A and B are shown apart, each in its own frame.
Chain A
Amino acid sequence: MPSSEVTNPTGRPDEIRAVPVRRPGRWIAAAIVLVIAAALVRSVVVSPGFQWGVVGEYLFDHRILAGLVVTIELTVIAMAIGVVLGVILAVMRLSPNPLLSRASWLYIFFFRGTPVLVQLLFWYNIAALYPKLSLGIPFGPAFVHPNANTLITAFRAGILGLGLNEGAYMAEIVRAGIISVDEGQADAAQSLGMTRVQTLRRIVLPQAMRVIIPPTGNETISMLKTTSLASVITVTELLYAAQLIYSVNFKPIPLLITVSIWYLVCTSVLYVGQFYLERYYARGATRGISPTALARWRAAVFSPKHEWS
């Protein structure tokens, strides 16, 4: 019986099974990459300079772990300062008040325009500029007079330098997020009787988060690594802890590897956190929600038909 469609006994059209095109280029490229990778792995494992034994020895050394804790503290506190400052600066920048807007612009100009290392050194040496600090009414009486040298420790100088610098970058990220929200959203919120602050907090910022989160995740990962600059002002974070050890035992390479391993572990944890945060703030942005890594793995392993070709 002639039929315009190719059908099998189930009545459904057959899927096309054709001989795939040969792609020799892909095979050659893959072979080259494999050879290079094998050579690298061999050199890393075999070469004595890496001293994997020493790496193992120091990986959980209490001085390294103490440095890791300081690195994490610096990252968390500096990012917290950066995010809060960033939101304030972004709102100031978008404010109809020209003085607020310009002040914010000037802050961003200054802190983005100078290297963070210079800023760190600056805060570390702040006592040379203001030996005596005071807290009180501007141009009026002061209540406390802390000594700058004792108040601004190396750790606090690190926090200030990293956090205030981060605020400038976060301000631009938050501003981009706020601008990305459709103006109709503010119209709708205000027509329902919300004030400008409520509109920003309840309607605009939550939607801006979708745009703000991915670059903020990058900033956090970048901050984790930038904290190593604090070693220059003698904050005993991960890198400086390792430097203190290898200045005594003269084994810099294995200790730098130890440090790198810990940085990689931390950035990996941050990647996972970022994924879940992005998923949370993507609600309503797409029809479906992207599956978690675990769900994808489960689907790949337990699905009845494997399609890994």
Chain B
Amino acid sequence: MSVAMVNAEAVRKRFGRLEVLKGITLEVQPGEVMCLLGPSGSGKSTFLRCINHLEKINSGRLSVDGELVGYRQVGDRLHELRESEIARKRAEIGMVFQHFNLFPNMTALDNVTCAPIRVKKVAREGARERARELLARVGLADKLEAYPVQMSGGQQQRVAIARALAMEPKLMLFDEPTSALDPELVGEVLGVMKQLARDGMTMIVVTHEIGFAREVADTVVFMDEGVVVESGSPADVLTTPRHERTRSFLSKVL
């Protein structure tokens, strides 16, 4: 029996008085691609940020690859992890953001080599070699020395994917990776993500691209107001949704 890559049980998250996640329970298996759909404010992005501990959960259990996120269990007590331990766990999870968040003062190549050199202590030459391969893989072999401002949004997002892959993550989180892109540029980013899915990467993708979810996802989860409304195969959730809320959302997005 294999351990789930991500296991969430009744995860709750509050910002002040506002409860954003009201008990999320779901499971992602290794190699699975899960798409999270839902209206804005439904808690999808927050849930994603909880998985690599950019946000702390208030209650419930959340584990990645069999280990609790942010805590260690000793007996029946939880101990907070030290910052360096949290950082080490984050290094194994790649994250791609809506607004790319590339480091603007570094070239594409330096963006990709930065974390391997600083965090994994990989030798500079080896890191650059690997970065060139990764940038070629996302179709940017000719942009190695370009700064983020000199690239289109689609190119920047592909660099961001290469940057996350350079840490050789076991899980990739995508937070609306195409929402800030011109419609013409969405395809090139989705193309890279499809290839990644075919290569067997475990992925959780928050997206509004229903076509992508239908084609690539193993599981589609529809969230609204901090709860999972329904989940299942793309055919089930997208073609024959059981809940009225899912139906009305899909009718607006499609």
Contact = CB atoms under 8 A, between A and B. Distances in A.
B119 A185 contact: no
A195 B105 CA distance: 19
Contacts of A193: 87-88, 90-92, 115, 119-120, 167
B77 interface: no
Given A193-B167, A195-B84, A284-B106, A187 B101 contact: yes
Contact of B118 (A184, A202, A283): A202
Contacts of A191: 52, 54, 90, 93-95, 164
B101 A192 contact: no
Interface string A140-165: 00000000000000000000000000
Given A284-B148, A287-B149, A194 B101 contact: no
B244 to A, nearest CB: 35
A192 B97 CA distance: 12
B149 A284 contact: yes
A229 B190 CA distance: 64
B103 interface: yes
B101 A283 contact: no
Contact of A185 (B101, B147, B163): B101
A198 B118 contact: yes
Interface in A194-232: 194-196, 198, 202-203, 206-207, 210
A195 B85 CA distance: 9
B97 to A, nearest CB: 6
Contacts of B115: 189, 192-194
Contacts of B90: 190-193
A192 B149 contact: no
Interface in A231-264: none
B109 interface: no
A188 interface: yes
Contacts of A207: 103-105
A135 interface: no
Contact of B103 (A196, A203, A281): A203
A172 B99 CA distance: 29
Contacts of B54: 187, 190-191
A191 to B, nearest CB: 4
12 contacts: A187-B54, A188-B103, A191-B52, A192-B91, A192-B114, A192-B163, A193-B115, A194-B115, A195-B83, A198-B119, A210-B105, A285-B149
The 6 lowest CB-CB distance pairs between A and B, nearest first, are A193-B91, A192-B115, A188-B101, A191-B95, A184-B101, A284-B147
Interface of A: 182, 184-185, 187-196, 198, 202-203, 206-207, 210, 281, 283-287
